[in-house]
Every structure is written in structure tokens, then in C-alpha cells.
A and B are shown apart, each in its own frame.
Chain A
Amino acid sequence: MTESNKMQKQIVITCVSKEERRIFFDEVIKKCNFTSIITCSIYEALRQIEQTMPHLIICDSILPDGTVATIYDKIRPDSILKTIPILVIVVKKTKEHLVPLTGRSFEGILMGEVNGGLLKEKIMEILNARSGLSPHFVPIDKTSLDSNLILSVDALVLGSSEDDKVIYKSNAEIDPGASFVCVPKDKNKDPVLLNRGLNVIKDDGIYNVFPIKRARGKGIKWLFQLPKINISGKRTDEQDDIVRKVVFYDPKMERFTKFKEILRGYNIELFHASSLQSVINILQNYGPIIDFVYLDELPSGSGAFVQFKEFIDKFEEKKRLGVIIATTSQHISSDPYFYYIRKPFSLSLLLEMMENAYKNNKEFENALREENIKSHLEVFFQTPAKLVGFDEHGSILEVRHPISKSSKLRVDHPFINKIWNDTNEAIVTDVFQPSEASPFWYVRVEKLTGTGSKVVYWERVSKLLSDVIIEKKDEEKK
């Protein structure tokens, strides 16, 4: 499991004395990309534990209203809360500070002054010892429930661009490698299978863009009948003879040479870069004539990429460069100016990505004004998924492609809908891979309007699950 995946949406409750220490812990935890809940008393900490069922509790050994022993003694006998790890901070190595630890087993203890690096390391060590799944996790195969379900994302069709791309506005990012069935709410229009979509993330929402030529199914007919939105303000045939200039980072010279020859035939001129620093140098010297950048896998050492990203961010707004990153990683997330393409890819896909990077978001944004939008066709995207199980935070689904956190979608499964009081609107709260080699993603979904206290929620779910658990029924029969 990759570090970034495990960090996603881990809830850490911190209960320490002194304001400046609370600020320090809060900052470190947030830098780790965790959800940080800071409390200043044992009482408040216990309340938050009940509400949120955190993944980790960090607590001073003694506080004005109690000690860490109070928390320990409260949660360890509790069947739901007992597995939450506790990291104790012992500010001073005195008897008073050490007594609460006696006879109790904590997952981690830090003595004295704690620096940010050490704290982060310890947090990671404790959380890495666990899988992405909660210890309360109930797998679907222990129940009589059907694992198949459909995920749906509501979207609004805005129209099609002059280069035959259909544009939707939705609340979810789509994975470029995924296929989606687009189902119009208008029953007179047929569904259509869409592929190779892109996300364009704007302040006002997420736009999904699909090439119509890749669409399949009877619904292609209404796609072609969509009103046009003039995205770029230019005629497409004006673009044909323009030579695009690309800085092409590829460690394999032979491969670069072949791409250079091929892409020249498509009016794309490549300039070779042997490292990210070399890319930066070329951009610094020839920035005005370069149209976009291609990186073949990120070079090892994320520092170079961070430097590169900072450099790109500083580019003038009007000349904001698109960057294509070819990667074998399964973890692809959208970014306004970074276009990920999964390797291996076909030539036509590379060309399409290059075309998108060339046009970039500026043109897109200019055209999406209300007066230009002629279509408001309501649709939903559907993709199949499998129910993997349940834990105290939500339902775990298995999907073939990652769905971004905070995506809003609909989950149609009788048991889940029952837990959610007959609603199907959900939000994605966590995304991770069960193992590094897994081609699947696990997505945790929660009811969109929230579930209130986690403990209360889990008690209710456990009760409902007990009616469908097969193992228990087999035991009862015995």
C-alpha cells in the first residue's frame, strides 16, 4: 500500500495541553494529509472519539482533567472502540507522568520534546501496522448479500465542442481509463458507452470531457445532435497546419528518436530533455515558443518533481503550459494542468492528450459562459462496482478505477440504501488500494448527509448485519 493511500482520510484525535503544542500537532497531522481533531481535555477527547471513531488517538500522559489512562480504560473494554491505537506523549520523564502508563499497553510512546519529523514517523509506523480496512470490517462474503451494485454520478450535458467532444458538468472526477454508461434521464434517448474522458477542474465544479468518436451504442445519435459550444473561438481547420513544439523528457534516446520521427508527421516537433532540470532549463530559455511538456514517468526522487511543479506554477497565466505525464502508476489524480496518461498507450491516445494539453484550460474556461450553453440535458454516468464490506465509517466498494475523494455519487444497493434510510446519495470519503499489486481500488462511501455519531451508526449497522451474516446463522443451526 502506498504511503499516500494510507494517509487518506485517517482521522487523528489529539489531546494535549498548551495551545502552542496543539497548534504544532495540528500542523504536523494536516501535513500528513490526515483529518486532525484537536481537543484540550480528556472529556472533549472522549466525546470526539464517540463521534468520529478515529484511526489514532494522540494524548499527553497527563492533562488538567485527567490522564491518558482514563481514555484507555474507557475504550479498551468497548467492542467497537477497543482497537483504536493510542500514542502517548510523555512530556517529562517523571513518576507523575509515567504512572498512567503502568499496566497498560499502548501502541506508541514518545518521550520529551517531540519534533515534527519524529512525530510523523511514529504516526506512520502505527498506522502502517494496520491495513486500509478497519478492524471492525465485515466482509460481504460473510453475509448473504449480493455484492454487485451500480455507482451513478449525476451530470449535466452542456453541449459539444467544435472538435466533437461532449462536455458534462458533474461532481465527480472520472478516470481516463474507465468506461461509463451515460444514461439520459430523458427516456427517449438511448444510453451511450463513453471512454477516455478527461477532467477539467474549475472553481465552480468538475467538467468531464469525452471524445464523441469513441462513444459506442445507440445513444451516439443524440451526442451528434448536441448544440455546439465554441470552446476555443478558433475554427478547427486553423489548427491543422500549426506546428506544436514540445519539450519531451524521455530517458530512452532510441524511443525519443522514434517518437520524434512519428510525431513530426502530425506537425509536432519534439525537443529532447534528459532530466527534469533540463526541462526547466529549456523552458527558461525557450519558454515563449514551447507549447507543452511531455514527461515519460516521473524521475525517481519527488523533490525534482516538486521543483518542476513550482516552476510550472510560476509561468505566466496566459502561457500556462500543459504537462503530459506518462505513468505506469494506477494512481492518477486530476490536476488543471497535468494530464496523466497511463502506459502503455496507443498513438491516437497520445495525440489526443497532446491536443488537449495544447489547447489547455484557458480556452475551455472562456467558452463556458452561461450564454454559450445551449443544452441542459440531465444524465447520469453508471459504472459497475462490487460491495466489499462494511466498517464503522461506511461501506467499502471495489472499483476498477479510482474515484476521487469527495466525489458525490449514487449507490444503488438494497442493504446500503436501508442503512441510509432509503437514500442513495453518497460521498466518497476514502480511496485506497487493498495491496500495491492490486488492480482494484477500494472506495469508502458514506451517506451524503452524514451519519452522526460513528458509534451509534456502527451499532445500528452491526445490528442490521447480524440478520444477514451467514457464519452466525450456521453456528445457530449447530
Chain B
Amino acid sequence: MEKSCLIVDLDEKGFKSHFQTISKTIMFPLNTICVMGDEAMDALNEESVVSIVIVVSDSKKCKNAIDLLENFKISVGPLPHFQAIICSDPDPFFLSDIDEYGIENVFSEEDWPYSLQQMLMNIESILQDEESSESKIIKINSAIKKGNKENIKKAKDYIGEYDQYDFLAAYTKGSVLNVMGKYEEATEAFKSSHRLNKSFKPTAVALSENLLILGKIDEAIVLLERLNKQNPRSLIRKTQLVAAYIEKGDTEKACQYLKEAIDLEPSNPKILEIKAQLLMDQGNYKEAFLLMDKMSNVGPYFASKLNNLGIRLSNSEKRKSALFIYEKAHKIVRDDLKFKVSLNAALACYKMEDFTLALKYLERSEREFGGPFEKAEKIRKMCKIGLKKKGTDAKKEAPGKKHADEADKSSERKENSGKGNGNGLKPVKTG
């Protein structure tokens, strides 16, 4: 497949037609697709896109540029040398924002054609080698994006030894391990990437998130505070600090950073996430769940909070409440995280001895994972044993007992009818 460079004109001041004129006289080594801002997101989904160049001199469009860079990171991969900004006099704050993605190519409006040509020549030369770190990163990212768990499992080994001396490869390995739910190993990979290149911010961001997930709060706070000092305009950072201080039990600091986050971008979805977490920490589940109804695409940290809450409820025999949490979580977490929620729901059902429902959740979990996996198989076996045992016990039951069981089931159904609005739940002490 021919590789492409996506050129996005956010300024909309005639760059596209200028580009068409220039491309008649200058040979660009890769196929180039020039689009306007509103076409960019769709164009980014093209499999052929391996590079992006954003034309932005209007400071009002900087946020759109950042969104594109975020999407490129997800769609194609963390390849800063495959990306560029065209802007002759970039605002220092904008430079700081694009530094969050490790972007170093900033071309002037006067000589961008030749700078772009050079960049694309380098990219073409790198990607000609299928074994290059970049080629592998693109393939791995594609597998992650498609949710192809089989390929994701292979991806970890596919990186080979590159992660020992290539910070991008180490970062990608961390991402793969994260998707597989192996947060400890992922953290080690991110630490390795950070050691190889301390100035590559995406690694520091991913590392801080993982430290939070693993409960290494003090370590996370040290890293987050440093990153926040370097760029106090990062909303993600603020929300991570809120989460960290909630975990630490320092509500005052958590609220301070929440205020700073709201001041930055009051309508950002991440604000809802962090508000919900604060409410849950205060025991105000009803309001937290109302907020959750407005959330979507929730990341691994909040997903893990919900999973952990579900597990606590399940272990303290409030299994119906746990199922309620899991259903709520399932609606709002990112697609690649749904399998874990379904798996936890299956486990809760197993503990309730509702093996049939457990098997249904397991089926869903495997569908979301993209195939069977070890933990699901294990629980399935246990459920089948449980079902068999239940069947045997039922044969041995006295006829009178059957009527009492039916009455129990009827009262269970009444209890379940309260699930949808959270009225059946009592606040659970966390921590």
C-alpha cells in the first residue's frame, strides 16, 4: 500500500491551492493528501497515512491542531519525526503544547516545501525497511486500533530488542502491555523509554497514568508535579493530579487542581471523569452515577477505579450492586477496556452462583477481546463445574424445597428492579 502524508490546512487561507501548485514542481517522495480542517479526522483513518503536517498560524486553531496530533498518536503511532507543523512564528504556548507529543519539526511558511521534502525523504527511507522500529510501531498501532487481540499479543515479541535502546519502541511496548492489562510490565517499559529519552513527553504522561493505576501514588505525584510545572496548561495533567491527590486523601489539593482544570477547559469530558471520581470518594454515588451517564470513552485509570469498586462490592457480597457498576462501566469505558469489565461481571455472577449469566458475560468478554483467553477459560471451567453441581443438587432436592426457591427468585426479581437508578446501593467506604 502506498504510504501517504496527510497535510491539514487549519488556517484555510488558500494553502490547499498553493500546495497543489507547489506539488507540480517539487517531487514529494510520499503520496500527499491535502485536506481542510473539517476533513482531517476522516482522512486520518486512512490506513495509508503514516505522516501528518498541520498548517496552523491562527492561534484560535491551535486546539484543533492538538486534537489532530492526539488522533495521529492513536491512529498511527507515537512517531514525532513523522509529524510537522507549518507556522513561521508559533506562539510559545503552542510550542509547549505540541511538545507534549514530542513534535520537533516546525517549518516556516517560506521554505516548507523543501523542509517537507526532506522529512518525507527520511520517512520513505526509514519505512523501506520493514524491520525498522518505525515500521513495526505502525503495524502494532494498527493492531491496537483494530482491537485485534491476537496480533496485539504477538506485537510484544515483534518489537524484539529495539525497546532496549529505542525510546519509541519501548513506549510502544508499554502501550501494548497496557492494552493486554499488564500494567506492571507496561510501567517498566515506559520507565525504560523515559530513561532513553527524558524529553519525550508522551512517555512521561503514560508512565504517570500507569503509576496511578498501580497505586504508586507518591511516585506518580512527583512525576506529575514536574510535568505540570513544565506545562501548567495541560488539562490531562491537572486531571491526573486530581486523581492522585484523591488517592492520597488530600482533598484540598485535589479540589485546587480540579478548579485549575475547569478554568482551562470547563467542557472537556475529562472534567466529568474527575468530578465523578471525587464524588465517589466522598461517598456520593448517586451524583457520580448521574455524571457517568454523560461520559464516554473513559480511559484505563477511571475504568480501573470502577472495576475495583465492583470487585469490592462483589467481595462484600453486594454482588447485584457490583453488576450494576459493571454495566455502568461497560457503557462508558473505551472499547479496548470493555473485555475486562465483562470479565469482572462474569466473576461477580460466578460468586452469586448465577453460572448461566456468568457464561454469557464470559462470551461477551471473549468477543470484546477478539478471542478466547486464559482467564476467561478458567472461569468458564469453574462455571461449568458449578452448573453441573447445581444440576446434581437439584435432582436430590425434596419437592417442597422447590416452592421455597421460587419464592426466593421472586423476591430477587423485585430487588433487581431497583438496579437502574442506584436506589438499591448503600455508600461503600473506599480505601
Binding site for B on A (CB under 8 A): 179, 193, 195-196, 213-214, 216-218, 220-221, 223-224, 255, 258-259, 262, 265-266, 328, 343-352, 400, 439-440
Contact = CB atoms under 8 A, between A and B. Distances in A.
B19 interface: no
Contacts of A346: 95, 98-99, 103-106
Given A179-B122, A259-B92, A216 B165 contact: no
A347 B99 contact: yes
Nearest to A349: B104
Nearest to A260: B92
Interface string B190-229: 0000001101100000000000000000000000000001
A400 B104 contact: no
Nearest to A351: B199
Given A193-B126, A213-B199, A400-B114, A344 B96 contact: no
Nearest to B87: A344
B82 to A, nearest CB: 10
Nearest to B104: A346
B230 interface: yes
A346 B96 CA distance: 8
Contact of A216 (B81, B95, B96, B232): B81
7 contacts: A255-B91, A262-B93, A262-B95, A343-B89, A348-B102, A348-B199, A349-B104
B104 to A, nearest CB: 4
B106 A265 contact: no
Given A262-B95, A344-B90, A400-B114, 5 more contacts: A216-B126, A221-B161, A223-B165, A346-B99, A346-B103
Interface centre among A258, A262, A266, A400 (most CB of B within 10 A): A262
B65 to A, nearest CB: 14
A196 B105 CA distance: 11
A159 to B, nearest CB: 16
B108 interface: yes
A469 B144 CA distance: 56
A217 B200 CA distance: 18
A348 B231 contact: no
Interface centre among A213, A214, A218, A347 (most CB of B within 10 A): A347
Contacts of B106: 344-346
Interface residues on B, range: 35 or more
Interface centre among B87, B95, B133, B197 (most CB of A within 10 A): B95
A258 B93 contact: yes
A439 B116 CA distance: 12
**Leading 6 A-B pairs by shortest Cβ distance:** A258-B92, A265-B230, A213-B197, A346-B104, A439-B114, A224-B165
Interface in B267-309: none
A346 B102 CA distance: 9
A220 B197 CA distance: 13
Contacts of A220: 165-166
Nearest to B108: A344
Interface centre among A266, A439, A440 (most CB of B within 10 A): A439
Interface centre among A213, A221, A223, A351 (most CB of B within 10 A): A213
Given A216-B126, A346-B105, A255 B111 contact: no
Given A255-B92, A258-B91, A262-B93, A344 B107 contact: yes
Contacts of B231: 262, 265
B92 A262 contact: yes
Contacts of A218: 129, 131-132
A346 B114 CA distance: 18
B344 to A, nearest CB: 40
Contacts of B96: 262, 347
A400 B114 CA distance: 8
Interface in B2-30: none
Contact of A221 (B92, B103, B165): B165
Given A179-B122, A213-B199, A439 B87 contact: no
Contact of B118 (A255, A262, A347, A400): A400
A218 B130 CA distance: 12
Contacts of A213: 167, 196-197, 199-200
B171 to A, nearest CB: 12
A351 B197 CA distance: 14
Contacts of A196: 104
A217 B126 contact: yes
Contacts of B315: none
Nearest to B230: A265
A266 B87 contact: no
Contacts of A345: 106
B336 interface: no
B389 to A, nearest CB: 57
A197 to B, nearest CB: 14
B159 to A, nearest CB: 13
B134 interface: yes
Contacts of A351: 199
Contacts of B114: 400, 439-440
Interface in B113-166: 113-114, 118, 122, 125-126, 129, 131-134, 161, 164-166
B416 interface: no
B99 A328 contact: no
A433 B102 CA distance: 33
Interface centre among B106, B229, B231 (most CB of A within 10 A): B106
A259 B96 CA distance: 9
A81 B131 CA distance: 56
Given A213-B167, A346-B95, A439 B111 contact: yes
B322 to A, nearest CB: 43
Contacts of A221: 161, 165
Nearest to B90: A344
Contacts of B89: 343-344
B45 interface: no
A259 B94 CA distance: 11
B88 interface: yes
Contacts of B232: 265
A158 to B, nearest CB: 19
A224 B230 CA distance: 28
A351 B232 CA distance: 17
A252 B196 CA distance: 36
B90 to A, nearest CB: 5
B87 A348 contact: no
B255 to A, nearest CB: 23
Interface string B173-205: 000000000000000000000001101100000
B148 to A, nearest CB: 27
A120 to B, nearest CB: 31
A351 B92 CA distance: 13
A220 B162 CA distance: 9
Nearest to B131: A218
B132 A217 contact: yes
A29 B217 CA distance: 70
Interface in B64-109: 81, 87-93, 95-96, 98-99, 102-108
